[in-house]
Amino acid sequence: MEQVNHNKNVIEVCKNSIDYVRLRQDYLSKDNLSREYKAISEEFKEWLKKGYQTQSIIYLIESKK
């Protein structure tokens, strides 16, 4: 009986570890996406300050939901 409980505990720990890794990956990907948006926004502001024509500035941003 003790081995069965041990196996259940091991499975539970593994599940929790995998869940944590998935949550961390999700957080980091969202954080990275936010940084990319901010960088693009800052670059766009710089282009406008330098007087580049807005007609020649095109951004294609894919948003993940």
pLDDT the model gives residue 35: 87
**What single letter denotes the amino acid at residue 61?**
I
User: pLDDT tens digits, residue range 13-37?
Assistant: 999 999 999 999 999 888 888 888 8
Contact between 60 and 36 under an 8 Å Cβ cutoff? The reply is no
Contact between 17 and 23 under an 8 Å Cβ cutoff? The reply is no
Contact between 59 and 44 under an 8 Å Cβ cutoff? The reply is yes
φ/ψ of residue 28, rounded to 5: -65, -35
User: pLDDT tens digits, residue range 50-60?
Assistant: 776 655 555 54
Contact between 54 and 48 under an 8 Å Cβ cutoff? The reply is yes
User: In this predicted model, which residue has the larger pLDDT, 10 or 62?
Assistant: 10
